[in-house]
A and B are shown apart, each in its own frame.
Chain A
Amino acid sequence: LCLCRAPTRDITEGLVNGFNYSTFLGPGKVHRATDTIQGWTQCAAEFTLRLCEARRLRALQKGTLEKVAASLVPAFPAGNIPHICTLMPIHPAFSRAQWFLDELLTSSYHSSDAIKVFSTSGGTPPHNDRGDTPQEQLAKATASVMGTWPDRVQYLGQPLIAPWFTLKEALVLHSRPAPHPVGLVRSLWVELAHLEPTEAQWEGEGTAVGEDDWGSGAGVQGVSGARIPLKAVTSFLSVEMHRKEPAPEPPPELKLTPEPEEGPAPGLEPGPAVVVLEPSGPPALIRIPTTERAPPQTTDYPRAGTPKHLTREEKLNILTFPPRLVAEQLTAMDVELFKKVLPHQCLGSIWSQRRKPGKEHVASTVRATVRQFNYVATCVITTCLGDPSMMAWDRAKVVEHWIKVAKECRLLRNFSSLHAILAALQSVAVHRLKKTWGQVSSLSLEDSLKMFTFLVPITRRRNDTESSGEPMSLEEVSHFPEEGTGQGARPRPKEEFLESECVPFLGEYLKELKAMDTLMEDDLEVESDQLAKKEKVQRVLEEIVVLQEAAQKYQIEPEEQFRTWFWALKRLSENESYIWSCQLEPQS
């Protein structure tokens, strides 16, 4: 098991990285935390000391990991700390989620004090700078920790025991500082459905908590299998329940199954808090109360309309939608999916698992973005090929339209859809239509040429920066050179990312992480190289998180007509489009 292989080294690295990252995060944030939490600076200093020793001895000082856990709670300003979701998944020492949660709940809150702490707001741990009460801090910390793992835990062969799921869900849903609660709960449940039958041993130990119990604030009952101070948790939950308004309604039942690889994405996101009870699954499963939060915008993927509705929409043509509108709507869809991506699911080790039997649910948030990408691409191909009644000139108009959409995507800094559209225009089926391209206006051709050349030589520009020693970030790479200025190759300072929102093409990150993963598999590697690679992986993940935060800035209202058309469009498969294309213009 990889946990046993070199735990000491990993732990040491983890701590070094973790705390370096905290300071690096920006003096502002950490400083504020220091003001309010007296113990923090001291604790950090002590850490550094211990770390030096640990590094030299290649062994971890006893109790260090516990301190990390203890430090998490007051240190969390926003509940979503990048180093939690980026650092921890790549360091096996931190992947013992269960231990970690135990630690969070036990060490910070001794069970004897628990009730007092949870029921009054003046407990021992101080308020943080946001005025969060201790229980809020704890909830946020826990949620963040959980946001890090859902499937990773399984991957490491450490399935969480059933009562933990109930706790996790409850905490996540009630504090919800994690940016992707819906996706999170969903993956938890999918994971649960995949638990080994051995989980049956938990039968009888936990008791299901009905939805009504939740509504009435009765709390979790009888989770006797847990190794944590349950009293503390239950009372904590009760407090939380009372604080949240209004009383939750029972959620609709919905069966969750791993989604098919390809195909339309309707129903991509089930409603919030839609959770299924697998009848065969372990007992002690609760249903999550629906929370007060309105369904996120992403849930408005087309509920397939009535047939009548569809026929009307199908008559619409891509040309009836202005390029800007199309670009905006595609961006809105991409943004929602991108924000939901759990960064660790991009890791090469996770992403590569997706093909293995029983792992179909792995990396679901990443797959959702891939599916959307392919859906955009097939939409472009299908509309460009059009129907037999169209002449080359008509097709050229569609191609020109998409080139305009691509330009708009570029202005919106949506590199995902931009990439999808350009890739589709260059797909064999569209690319080979000489007559059509012959009719495309020279202006559009020029535009497309500019954009096409951008796509391929990405790497060349990246090579230009090799001398700088710093790997060029993907965002920079997916950034167009400003016309005429030739500045595209220059790396920009990291802070600038936050200034402007963008949707990256995730494929570049996947490729990079996959390559790193393949490199890391090599045991012959010197330790320092391994460390350098891990740092690099972490940097890539951090970058994703930073971009996700920036993506919050997008504010685009969904436009129903386009969406309905987009989802209703019957797409040609790759093979069909090629055959179709050959019919339009026979092979020479």
Chain B
Amino acid sequence: MAQADGRPQPGAGQPHVFKLVLLGSGSVGKSSLALRYVKNDFKSILPTVGCAFFTKVVELGATSLKFEIWDTAGQEKYHSVCHLYFRGANAALLVYDITSKDSFHKAQQWLKDLEREFLPGEVVVMLVGNKTDLSEEREVTFEEGKEFAESQSLLFMETSARLNHQVTEAFSAIARELLQRAERKEDQTRRGGARLALNQGPMGRAKCCAR
């Protein structure tokens, strides 16, 4: 029960489990993206809708991983609650609505919040401009989004949950990145345990009150 923080748990034939959080202001389409993505598992979700996250197994070549997708759906107004969602996350999708400049700024704010909680490079972050189907009302250009993402070393993509455009691609890109990082980490472990021990300082950082 205590190990509920969604860290990768490799081994024993089980796929890696990664916790992915959806962040962004209200009505940008976070839930729609998540639901669209897990659509194939849709039927199995139905009885428990309202559960805080969906799961989805992703096959990437020989390896597979399991996403736990956490969505704040409608709870963005409860300020302190959102932190509870993203604690222990491995990846974050920062979603904004391309027809709302304001939501773009909010996404940047979310990034700041993430940075407070995590060490650089600890989470894979992707910036997602959703609702490309409403391109006539576009307020944030593709370039703007891309530029900001590059300046912060984030992955970037524009999607349309409604048209199912680029949705799977976005999640797959995150999956690939997560696996690559995990492999790199394993390499390091094999090469030298001493270096790793030094890096491990902040392990308990986010848990001081839970110990």
A471 part of interface (Cβ distance < 8 Å): yes
Minimum CB–CB distance for A570 against chain B, Å: 17
B84 contacts A463, C-beta separation under 8 Å? no
Q: Given A374-B80, A425-B209, A519-B49, 10 other A-B contacts at CB below 8 A?
A: A423-B84, A428-B113, A440-B209, A445-B211, A453-B210, A456-B4, A471-B47, A511-B74, A513-B74, A516-B49
A471 contacts B48, C-beta separation under 8 Å? yes
B195 part of interface (Cβ distance < 8 Å): no
Minimum CB–CB distance for A575 against chain B, Å: 9
Bin chain B's interface residue count: 35 or more
Question: Could you tell me the dominant secondary structure of chain A's interface residues?
Answer: helix
- The residue on B at minimum CB distance from A506 is B78
Minimum CB–CB distance for A204 against chain B, Å: 39
B4 contacts A370, C-beta separation under 8 Å? no
Hey, what's the 0/1 contact readout for B69-97 against A, CB within 8 Å counting as 1? 00111110111110110010000000000
B116 part of interface (Cβ distance < 8 Å): yes
Q: Which of A348, A356, A427, A452 contacts B80 (CB 8 A)?
A: A427
Instruction: Of the listed stretches B8-16, B24-32, B126-134, name the one at the interface; the rest are far from the partner chain.
Output: B24-32
> Which B residues lie within 8 Å of A456 (CB)?
4, 84
A518 contacts B35, C-beta separation under 8 Å? yes
Complex Cα spacing A180 to B203, Å: 50
B2 contacts A377, C-beta separation under 8 Å? no
Hey, what's the 0/1 contact readout for A258-280 against B, CB within 8 Å counting as 1? 00010000000000000000000
Hey, what's the 0/1 contact readout for A522-565 against B, CB within 8 Å counting as 1? 10000001001100100000000000000000000000000000
- The residue on B at minimum CB distance from A374 is B79
B84 contacts A508, C-beta separation under 8 Å? no
Interface residues of A in 492-535 (CB under 8 A from B): 507-508, 510-516, 518-519, 521-522, 529, 532-533
Minimum CB–CB distance for A403 against chain B, Å: 10
Q: Which of A420, A459, A536 contacts B51 (CB 8 A)?
A: A459
Complex Cα spacing A445 to B211, Å: 8
Complex Cα spacing A445 to B32, Å: 39
- The residue on A at minimum CB distance from B205 is A432
Interface residues of A in 358-382 (CB under 8 A from B): 367, 370, 373-374, 377-378, 381
Minimum CB–CB distance for A227 against chain B, Å: 36
A381 contacts B80, C-beta separation under 8 Å? yes
Complex Cα spacing A574 to B81, Å: 12
B53 part of interface (Cβ distance < 8 Å): yes
> Which B residues lie within 8 Å of A413 (CB)?
none
Can you show 9 pairs from A to B with CB atoms below 8 A apart? Answer: A352-B26, A434-B208, A453-B210, A459-B53, A460-B1, A510-B73, A511-B71, A518-B35, A522-B35
A419 part of interface (Cβ distance < 8 Å): yes
B210 contacts A511, C-beta separation under 8 Å? no
A518 contacts B31, C-beta separation under 8 Å? yes
Q: Which of B48, B53, B72, B113 contacts A466 (CB 8 A)?
A: B48
Complex Cα spacing A461 to B56, Å: 19
> Which B residues lie within 8 Å of A452 (CB)?
209-210
A427 contacts B47, C-beta separation under 8 Å? no
Q: Which of B27, B50, B52, B81 contacts A355 (CB 8 A)?
A: B27
> Given A355-B26, A518-B35: A423 and B50 within 8 A (CB)?
no
A507 contacts B206, C-beta separation under 8 Å? no
A424 contacts B1, C-beta separation under 8 Å? no
B46 part of interface (Cβ distance < 8 Å): yes
B177 part of interface (Cβ distance < 8 Å): no
Minimum CB–CB distance for B68 against chain A, Å: 10
